[in-house]
Chain A
């Protein structure tokens, strides 16, 4: 079982819609959770982090964490074509982060 699992997609949503990206993890001891955005050919960019159960909002982005169910999600409201990218979920391990393989999001104008 992989430490972090994501649906590879592609996930396509129309412009203005809500994009929902999901991630599950295997280590119940994980304490910190991160979402990165990676444009094609570029390096990952941190967009959200969450430590506590519940929701955390930052602009159009909302991260949701449910430790009991071991999942973390990212909602993107009012999706824009510029949001088209691969989104990586990352979860803390003993000495570093475990990354999922990413979900490719396409926002259709």
Chain B
């Protein structure tokens, strides 16, 4: 089955710890995205990547880092510098960067205490 996988589904961490969220796709899509969603709010773009070894900051990149070493994978690290990391994190991919629909993974719910 083609699709986007994110792991884990739920993640709990203590303050001050870095944590890495996994995102893998087997759709052969070039572009991948990370969003954050807080309760009752819309999607906010953290980072996006249009091709391997290249990525761009979104609207709320501070406290986050990414890598894109393989076309299939786009992991997100939430660092201790992120002031309010508890949120629902969504990874998405699209065939190309502009004008194309994005498909979402199931999401990772991160709780930091």
Residues of chain A whose beta carbon lies under 8 Å from any beta carbon of chain B = 31-32, 34, 36, 42-46, 49, 88, 90, 92, 94-97, 99-102
List, in ascending order, chain A residues with CB within 8 A of B98's CB: 92, 94-96
Tell me which residues from 26 to 70 in chain B have a Cβ below 8 Å from any Cβ of chain A.
Answer: 33, 41-43, 45, 48, 50, 56, 58
List, in ascending order, chain A residues with CB within 8 A of B107's CB: 42-43
Q: How far is the CA of A43 from the CA of B104 in the complex (A)?
A: 7
Question: Is the beta-carbon distance between A102 and B102 smaller than 8 angstroms?
Answer: no
Question: Is the beta-carbon distance between B45 and A43 smaller than 8 angstroms?
Answer: no
Q: How far is the CA of A31 from the CA of B96 in the complex (A)?
A: 14
Residues of chain B whose beta carbon lies under 8 Å from any beta carbon of chain A = 33, 41-43, 45, 48, 50, 56, 58, 90, 97-107
List, in ascending order, chain B residues with CB within 8 A of A94's CB: 98
Question: Is the beta-carbon distance between A43 and B43 smaller than 8 angstroms?
Answer: no
Question: Is the beta-carbon distance between B106 and A42 smaller than 8 angstroms?
Answer: yes
Known: A43-B107, A44-B90. A96 touches B42 (CB 8 A): no
Question: Is the beta-carbon distance between B97 and A44 smaller than 8 angstroms?
Answer: no
